[in-house]
Structures are given as C-alpha cells and as structure tokens.
Amino acid sequence: MIYSLNGKILEKGADRVVIECGGVGYEVRVPLSAASALPAQGSTATLYTFLNITENDISLFGFLTAADRQMFQLLTSVSGVGPKVGLAILSALPCDRVALAISAGDAKAFTAASGVGPKLGQRIVLELKDKVGKGLAGEIPAGDAGVAAAVSVGGTAQAVAALCALGYNQSEAAQAVARLDPALPVEELVRLALRSMAGKVR
C-alpha cells in the first residue's frame, strides 16, 4: 500500500491532483475540502493515500490527514458507500463532524453529501456507531492530533444527549457541539452549546 505521497503538485483540479514523486506523476482523487486547502500548482504537498483496487480499476485517493483517510476507510466499509460517496461525505462534512454525527445518531447530517439519501445515512450510523465510539481510537496511532479530534466523541455524544434532554433536536444539538473543542469536559460543552443556542429551547 502507498502510505503517503510528498512532492510537487503538477496539476490541481476540484477533486483531483497530480503529484510528482521521484519523477513519477501520481493522479490522486481528493475530497473537495482537501483540494481547496492544498497549495497552488508548483508547490510541495503531502497527502495520506489509500489505494483502491477493483476488478476493473485501480485508483489512488488522497487526504490531508491520517484521520481523514481512516474515516474514508470506515465509511467505505459500509454497504452502499463506495469511494465516490465516501469522498462526497468528506467533501460535505469534516472528519470530526462525521464522527460526531455517527456517535450522536444524526443520520440526517449525511444527506448533505451528494449520493447519500436518508436510508443510506441511517445505515452509516447503524454500521459505524460502535466502531467510532469504541474501536477507532484503538486503531489509530496515539499522538495524531487530527485523529484524536475524530475519535474523541464520547464526551461530545454525552453533551448532545444532554441537549436533546433539554428540548433541542438532535441535529441542532450536534451542530452546536461540533463547533466546540471535543477535549472539553461534558459540562463545559453543554454550557457553551447552550450559550450558542440561547432562545432555541422548545
């Protein structure tokens, strides 16, 4: 497996880049968010990559962080979520927001991505809730700050549950908590989320 690429950006599009490494140009499919965050053509960049091999195709996918790549692999493990849909989800939602939506059971959040309907959103939540809540933290190297944000969902999930108990719907509670630092204590997450949603209690 090609773990990562570091080299000069030869071409850059909305959802793909070509990176030259050791005299070889690699075409890499990337989420829209990654393409916009990468430096201009001619600059040097690093992408964490995933090589997808099927009977009729070999494609290389690239991500800005190891956390994004790990989330892509989790998403594409769900029945009905292929690489194209996985990229669409990470284009619409940042990695930590995906983790929070799964942990909070917010299937509706995934419908913001092209190709994801309500049923597929529910399937993503059902199939990945345990993996994101328990297994993901053990599968990714400690010390990766980007991954830590994606897997530190225990406290945020509790905060979302507390806000729902106060009368907020799950979607708006998850969105409010997603804007906060997931490392904060649950009580602080709830307090700050309440402040941001003042006046919305039902």
pLDDT in tens, 58-89: 999 999 998 899 899 999 999 999 999 999 99
Query: What is the rounded CA–CA span in Å between residue 80 and residue 34?
Result: 23
For range 15-36, the mean pLDDT = 94
Q: Check residue 194 and give its pLDDT.
A: 86
What tokens does 152 get? 């530190």
Inter-residue contact 153 to 125 (CB < 8 Å):
no
The mean pLDDT value of the chain amounts to 83
HSE-CB at 60 with a 13 A cutoff on CA atoms is 17
Classify domain 4-64 by CATH number: 2.40.50.140
Q: Check residue 138 and give its pLDDT.
A: 43
Q: How many CB atoms lie within 10 A of CB 28?
A: 23
Contacts of 23 (CB under 8 A, 6+ apart): none
Report pLDDT digits (tens) over 119-159.
999 999 999 987 775 444 444 444 344 434 443 455 777 77
What tokens does 83 get? 């690489």
Query: What CATH superfamily classification does 67-196 receive?
Result: 5' to 3' exonuclease, C-terminal subdomain (1.10.150.20)
Rg over CA atoms, the chain: 18
pLDDT band at 199 (very low <50, low <70, confident <90, very high): low
Can you give the residue ranges of every domain in the chain?
A: 4-64, 67-196
When mean pLDDT is compared across 4-18, 28-42, 102-116, 185-199, the lowest value belongs to 185-199
Q: Model pTM?
A: 0.69
